[in-house]
């Protein structure tokens, strides 16, 4: 008589420990990817890029205005010390603000750009309406150069000067 051991059946599937280890690894990798991507920082960088582009557009329009008016700047841009950012005036139509909309729109730009984080970020194309771009402007009293300033999200201040 021949005696044989029963055949061992192979286990199928994964154990609970194996599944938990895989889920843990996936969770750690997902956390690392979210930290690396950091969507809030990406949005802040995009907003700062938009601000820089808007500041350049405003300065280009002011430069074109000056070229057409024999070097005269728009009447409502104040002169002062550009090294102190408290001297800058907001580009808007309120009291003590630089109301340059009528000088620039629509001849030199179709509309004044507005800060991307402003509540209503539609560009200002109606100069008769109340507006506030969120940007600031000043002419340096010693050099005559025009500077436009924006409060940034990544950088504290974004200043473009020409």
Cα–Cα nearest to 122, from 107, 137, 135, 133: 133
Flag whether pLDDT at 8 surpasses 90. no
- 81, 141 contact by CB (below 8 A): yes
Q: What is the pLDDT of residue 110?
A: 96
The domains of the chain are located at 37-161
Q: List, for residues 60-75, the tens digit of each pLDDT value.
A: 999 999 999 999 999 9
Q: What is the chain's mean pLDDT, rounded?
A: 91
Q: What is the pLDDT of residue 1?
A: 65
DSSP 158: E
Tokens representing 35 are: 């930290």
pTM above the 0.85 mark? Answer: no
Q: List, for residues 22-36, the tens digit of each pLDDT value.
A: 999 999 999 998 888
DSSP letter string, 7-32: PPPPP-S--HHHHHHHHHHHHHHHHH
Flag whether pLDDT at 3 surpasses 80. no
Secondary structure (3-state) at 148:
strand
């Amino acid at each position: 008589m021949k005696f044989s051991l029963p055949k061992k059946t192979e286990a199928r599937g994964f154990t609970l420990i194996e599944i938990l280890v895989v889920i843990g690894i996936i969770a750690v990798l997902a956390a690392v990817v979210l930290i690396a991507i950091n969507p809030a920082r990406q949005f802040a960088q995009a907003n700062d890029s938009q601000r820089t582009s808007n500041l350049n557009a405003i300065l280009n329009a002011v430069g074109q205005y000056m070229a057409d008016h024999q070097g005269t700047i728009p009447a409502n841009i104040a002169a002062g010390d550009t090294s102190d950012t408290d001297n800058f005036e907001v580009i808007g139509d309120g009291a003590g603000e630089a109301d340059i909309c009528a000088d620039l729109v629509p001849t030199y730009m179709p509309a004044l750009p507005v800060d991307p984080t402003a509540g209503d970020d539609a560009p200002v194309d109606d100069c008769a309406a109340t507006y506030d771009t969120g940007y600031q402007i000043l002419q340096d009293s010693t050099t005559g150069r025009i500077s436009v300033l924006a409060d940034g999200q990544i950088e504290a201040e974004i200043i473009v000067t020409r």
